[in-house]
Amino acid sequence: MKFSEQWLRQLCNPPLTTRELCDKLTMGGFEVESALPVDSHNIRDPANRRAARTTLREETGDTVIDLKTTPNRPDCLSLLGIAREVSALTGAEQNVSSIAITPVAFAGTRPLRVEAAAACPRFAGRSIDGITAGNPTPEWMQRRLQRSGIRSISPVVDITNYVMLECGQPLHAYDERSLSGAIVVRFAHAGEKLALLNGEVIVLEADDLLVADEEKPLGLAGIMGGKDSGIADDTTRVYLEGAFWNPAIIQGKMRRLGFVTDAGYRFERGVDFLGCARAVERATELILEICGGTAGPLTDEISASDLPRRDPVRVRTARVTRLLGVTIEPDAIADIFARLNLAFTRDGSDFVVTPPSFRFDLAIEEDLVEEIARIFGYEAIPATSAARIASMLPDPESGRSLDAVKQRLVALDWQEIVTFSFVSSATEAALDPDMQPVRVLNPIASQMDVMRSSLMPGLLATLQTNLNRQHSRVRIFELGRTFSRDGNAYAQPLRLGGLAFGPVMPEQWGAPPRTIDFFDVKGDLEILSAPQSFCAVSTVHPALHPGRAAQVRLNDVESGWMGELHPRLVRYFGLREAPLLFELDAAALMNASSPRAKPLSALPSVRRDVAIVVAEEVPAGDVLMALQGAGIPHVETVRLFDVYRGPGLTEGRKSLAILVLMRDTSRTLTDAEIDDSVAALIRVVAEQFGGSLRSQAPQ
């Protein structure tokens, strides 16, 4: 917001220099980007600019201040709003004169019909007849507009811009010669077109709000008027419009259209909904003064139920002290509220404050406490250390943090990556044609139009980037959320995904080169999930090789998948060989059983190697889990150490060589006890899997 300091001092004249005024605004929460003598910014040479500043200030006595406001303070996008702030910050008295009601000189008016009251709760308008639109704009007004960054166009347009800068209420003037019948506020019809003042012709959408007449649209409400309704030099009668548009209707429209206007910038943040008629009166006063003419009656249609609510907010003095850490007396708080033009009543030591119509940012108690701190002065609030005894946070042994999970992978020679949650719908369709990803309404790029339903797209894109830069060995993982939808319900679970590609070890003299395989990744995942039981069960996944994909089960609960990329996708992504991928539920990896002490036996263990023949389709992991869960006395360890297929076995059968360790902590096991335990293990295999000892299997 650029403005002339002279103009500001007409509305509020604090006894401060320009530098002191800028410092006060900065301490009040604003950012002063620059404060330069008028026209010095047009001098390109810095040395000449510095030399010219003093001369320009002496000649013009004016400075252009460029003030950056935060999005929650649209009330400061006007000279009146800035004057209110300067008055509150400095205590200077405001010099804002009341706007006189223009006497009605003729009965001419134009009918008004608001068909979208929720989008336009208030609409003020009037006709002004007999103007001379070709009169020159006064020099003082041109100077103020120019110093605010707005070029002079014509007196009527300049007046609407001037009132917008002064009061914060954008206005629009229509040439009544181009109007047919009543003014209508409505939403656009399908396929309707509008030629704007900037020469652009747009195809309107159903949520575009229009100011129209009985035959055609006149302008895009709150953003820009139509080309056909503009003011010409021979215009003699104008219709002046000042409306309050619901900010939700304006927000996002300019981004879609690809341009920004001063009016839209204000309306999408919110303007004073009680200032519409006042701004029209002010503009009428200036038009009659500069262009002549007579004013018709003011039409002011209000839908009170659709106007923004200003509910009273209770401010507790004790709460102010607690939040700010300093005691501010109730009388001082009352003075601050009065300086901020906030209506209030006192209830003991508390205040019941009603925010004014121009303050959209005041809704809860904390908002008003912030205002108290801002006007009281942040520099006046002492910095004190909190008197608090620090306590150590609990570190439960029954779980582990995500950082600990990631650290395990890093220790296994994997590297973490972070990728976008937005991915290409084409990539999602390639990975899983049946997946219906969550679409992004306003994507940051055309190739990032959906939310990822898996971590695979980011992992594969990172692999391609590394291969393009001649990195032949890749071990990467990512911890992130995936997104899915089931009807109207959305899910975004936290997942851990990884990708391995290339040699199992870096090139070295101590080991022959070997490409990483399924079991290398499976071994890393077993270490990652320990001490939970890990099981990989054959499965089918649309993005994985049909015979090299597995469902991962942790503690017998489905927790993810792993496998080799499908050959179709290897060709799709242009890879020379298939990478190994996995994706696991992060919450499952955070489980960890509490350590339990066991007595250490001084007695030796007993080892038995048992060869069991089962059907080829029986997973060895299922056999081991069954033996480990059988609870057979004295059995301490059951581990697979060999698998045999070939001569000596019937077709479709395989032999599993299983190591069994048995021990008793108090005595030496007898041969009978050992034989009973082994026999019990064999019975489990026979009953659950139809297996037998290899020595007893048919040849």
Model confidence over 148-166: pLDDT tens digits?
A: 999 999 999 999 999 999 9
Looking at residue 547, its pLDDT comes to 87
Q: What is the pLDDT of residues 286-299, one digit of tens each?
A: 999 999 999 999 99
Contact (Cβ atoms closer than 8 angstroms) between residue 471 and residue 464: no
Mean pLDDT confidence for 316-332 = 92
Looking at residue 314, its pLDDT comes to 95
Set out the domains of the chain in order of their start, with CATH numbers: 2-90 (3.30.56.10), 112-306 (3.50.40.10), 313-378 (3.30.56.10), 402-589 (3.30.930.10), 606-696 (3.30.70.380)
Round to whole Å and give the CA distance between 399 and 387.
32
Looking at residue 227, its pLDDT comes to 86
Mean pLDDT confidence for 470-492 = 92
Contact (Cβ atoms closer than 8 angstroms) between residue 369 and residue 323: yes
416 vs 384 pLDDT, higher one: 416
**Nearest C-alpha neighbor of 173 from the set 188, 158, 194, 193:** 158
pLDDT at 59 over 80: no
Contact (Cβ atoms closer than 8 angstroms) between residue 615 and residue 645: no
Q: Using CA atoms in the order 508, 513, 514, 516, what is the torsion angle rounded to 10 degrees?
A: 40
Contact (Cβ atoms closer than 8 angstroms) between residue 587 and residue 662: no
Looking at residue 655, its pLDDT comes to 92
pLDDT at 48 over 50: no
Which of 159-173, 363-377, 386-400 has the lowest average pLDDT? 386-400
Q: Where are the alpha helices (DSSP H) in 2-128?
A: 5-11, 18-27, 46-60, 79-90
pLDDT at 517 over 90: yes
- For 75, the token pair is 């009330």
What is the pairing mode between strands 653-662 and 606-615?
Answer: antiparallel
Mapping DSSP to helix (H, G, I), strand (E, B) and coil, where does residue 488 land? coil
Round to whole Å and give the CA distance between 173 and 459.
57
pLDDT at 245 over 90: yes
Round to whole Å and give the CA distance between 257 and 662.
77
The model's confidence at residue 208, banded by pLDDT at 50, 70 and 90, is very high
Residues facing residue 373 across a β-bridge: none
Mean pLDDT for all residues in the chain: 89
Looking at residue 162, its pLDDT comes to 95
pLDDT at 409 over 90: yes
As a whole number of Å, the CA-based R_g of the chain is 39
What is the pairing mode between strands 217-220 and 580-585?
Answer: unpaired
Q: What is the pLDDT of residues 604-650, one digit of tens each?
A: 889 999 999 999 888 888 888 889 888 888 888 899 999 998 888 88
Give the count of beta carbons closer than 10 Å to the beta carbon of residue 599.
7
The model's confidence at residue 39, banded by pLDDT at 50, 70 and 90, is low
Look up the pTM and report it: 0.62
Which of 9-13, 167-171, 394-398, 459-463 has the lowest average pLDDT? 394-398
Q: What is the pLDDT of residues 76-115, one digit of tens each?
A: 999 999 999 999 999 888 888 778 888 898 888 899 999 9
Residue type at 320 in one-letter notation: V
Q: Say which residues have a Cβ less than 8 Å from residue 486's Cβ, sequence separation at least 6.
A: none
Round to whole Å and give the CA distance between 263 and 246.
13
The model's confidence at residue 118, banded by pLDDT at 50, 70 and 90, is very high
Which of 47-56, 307-316, 473-482 has the lowest average pLDDT? 47-56
Residues of the chain with pLDDT > 90, as a percent, come to 60
Mean pLDDT confidence for 514-519 = 93
pLDDT at 593 over 80: no
Looking at residue 40, its pLDDT comes to 47
Mapping DSSP to helix (H, G, I), strand (E, B) and coil, where does residue 379 land? helix
Round to whole Å and give the CA distance between 443 and 526.
39
pLDDT at 41 over 80: no
Looking at residue 699, its pLDDT comes to 59
Residues of the chain with pLDDT > 70, as a percent, come to 96
Q: Say which residues have a Cβ less than 8 Å from residue 76's Cβ, sequence separation at least 6.
A: 1, 30, 67, 69, 82, 85
The model's confidence at residue 697, banded by pLDDT at 50, 70 and 90, is low
Whose tokens are 């070709």? That residue is: 134
Looking at residue 51, its pLDDT comes to 42
Contact (Cβ atoms closer than 8 angstroms) between residue 231 and residue 181: no
Looking at residue 57, its pLDDT comes to 43
pLDDT at 53 over 70: no
